[in-house]
Amino acid sequence: MIEIATAEAIIADRLLGSPLARSLGLAIERIEQGMVQLTLPFAAANVTVRTVVHGGVIATMADVTAVATAVSCARNIPDGGATSSLSITYLAPAAGCDLVATGRSSRSGKRQHVVRVEIASDGGTPVAEALVTVVFS
């Protein structure tokens, strides 16, 4: 397994340093081996109607959290990879609030990682759940 400090540097540089993640405002809150927590501050640019955060923004947060979680428990530093599946269930609207996504590794293989992601409002209300499969090259 790669060390947590190395994983955190990869996540910060490659994932959160991407133009999309930077524009959304995603940030690392907590990282452990097999568990990553990201935050997304509320921004008017991320809404669909009034103050409700767009479902695509929430799905993107789930995707980035899952990939970060897979990196946190990867056996080797990944050269590249992709999300091969993402299934999301929306539980409640995220209206005018910051979001917290927690990814937990369900299975971590040589190349394929399955991650469960829970997204909640900063007040703790569940907003969405996702099951994501990430494959590293």
Token pair of 104, please?
Answer: 């937990």
Residue-level pLDDT at 96: 97
Cα gap 92→108, rounded to integer Å:
29
* Single pTM value for the model: 0.97
Q: Does domain 4-136 have CATH number 3.10.129.10?
A: yes
Structure confidence at residue 60 as a pLDDT band (50, 70, 90): very high
Cα gap 126→81, rounded to integer Å:
29
Q: H or E stretch including 53? A: strand 52-53
Residue-level pLDDT at 38: 98
Cα gap 3→83, rounded to integer Å:
22
Structure confidence at residue 47 as a pLDDT band (50, 70, 90): very high
Report the DSSP beta bridge partners of residue 28: 38
